[in-house]
Chain A
Amino acid sequence: NAGVMQNPRHLVRRRGQEARLRCSPVKGHSHVYWYRQLPEEGLKFMVYLQKENIIDESGMPKERFSAEFPKEGPSILRIQQVVRGDSAAYFCASSSTGTGLEKLFFGSGTQLSVL
C-alpha cells in the first residue's frame, strides 16, 4: 500500500511534554497538508508545506506548533509543551500538485491524547 502513512496511530503525552507526529506522503508527492480535528468539530486546515518550504501556515497556532517537510524523510508536526486542549486527531494529506483536490490523499490520522 503506497498511501499516506502516519505514525504513531495513537500518542499519549503528559502536559508539558513534546509531541512529534510523522507523515510519509505518497511516493513522489511533494505537497503535504496537516489538518486537526478537535473533539466535536470538523477537520481544520493547519499548514501546507512543499519540500523544504512552508507555503501557508495560516491555520497553525502561533505558539508551540511547528511543521517541517525536509528534503529527505517524512513531514513532522511538532507540538511543544502540550496542553489538554491539544488533544485531537491530526490528519496529514499529500498531493503531487498544489491544486486539484481530487488528487488529495489522506492518512488515517494520529490521535493525540494529553493527560
Chain B
Amino acid sequence: GNSVTQMEGPVTLSEEAFLTINCTYTATGYPSLFWYVQYPGEGLQLLLKATKADDKGSNKGFEATYRKETTSFHLEKGSVQVSDSAVYFCALSENGAGSYQLTFGKGTKLSVIP
C-alpha cells in the first residue's frame, strides 16, 4: 500500500533560518504529491503540490521538487518567519480513480522563534 514518511519533529528554528522538512513516499503507481500546513486552531490548507516527476511546487516562499528516483518531496524555505510556525503534512494521492484519497505523513511541527 501507499505510505508517506516525514521527518520527526518538533523542529525549532530562528527567524530567517533555512528550513528543510524531509518527506519520502512509497506508492504503487505514479502519485501526485502535496504539502499541507495547519496553523494553530485552523484546518489543514494546501501549501503546494506536484503532479509528476521533476515538477516543482512553490507557494509563499516554500518549494518542493518531485524526485521520482529518490521517491522524495522535501519541503524547503530559504528564510523562515515566525508566522510560518505550524504543523506541516506531506501527502500523496494516486491519480485516476480514488484520487480523492490522500495518504498523509505524521506531520512535522515547526516553531520559529524571533
Contacts and interface: CB of A to CB of B under 8 A. Distances in A.
Interface of A: 3-4, 31, 33, 35, 37, 40-45, 48, 56, 59, 91, 93, 95, 98-99, 101-102, 104-109
A25 B91 CA distance: 22
A25 to B, nearest CB: 12
Contact of B104 (A43, A99, A102): A43
A95 B93 CA distance: 16
A56 B98 contact: yes
Nearest to B99: A99
B34 interface: yes
A91 B43 contact: yes
Contact of A42 (B93, B99, B100, B103): B103
Interface string B89-105: 10101000011111111
Nearest to A95: B100
Contacts of B104: 35, 37, 42-44
B41 interface: yes
Contact of B4 (A35, A42, A102): A42
Contacts, number: 66
B57 to A, nearest CB: 10
A105 B34 CA distance: 14
A106 B45 contact: yes
29 contacts: A33-B100, A37-B104, A42-B89, A42-B103, A42-B105, A42-B107, A43-B89, A43-B102, A45-B101, A45-B102, A45-B103, A48-B101, A56-B98, A93-B43, A93-B44, A98-B100, A99-B99, A101-B34, A101-B46, A101-B93, A101-B99, A101-B102, A102-B49, A105-B43, A106-B43, A107-B43, A108-B38, A108-B41, A108-B42
A102 B34 CA distance: 9
Contacts of A105: 43
Given A3-B43, A106-B44, A108-B41, A99 B100 contact: yes
Nearest to B90: A42
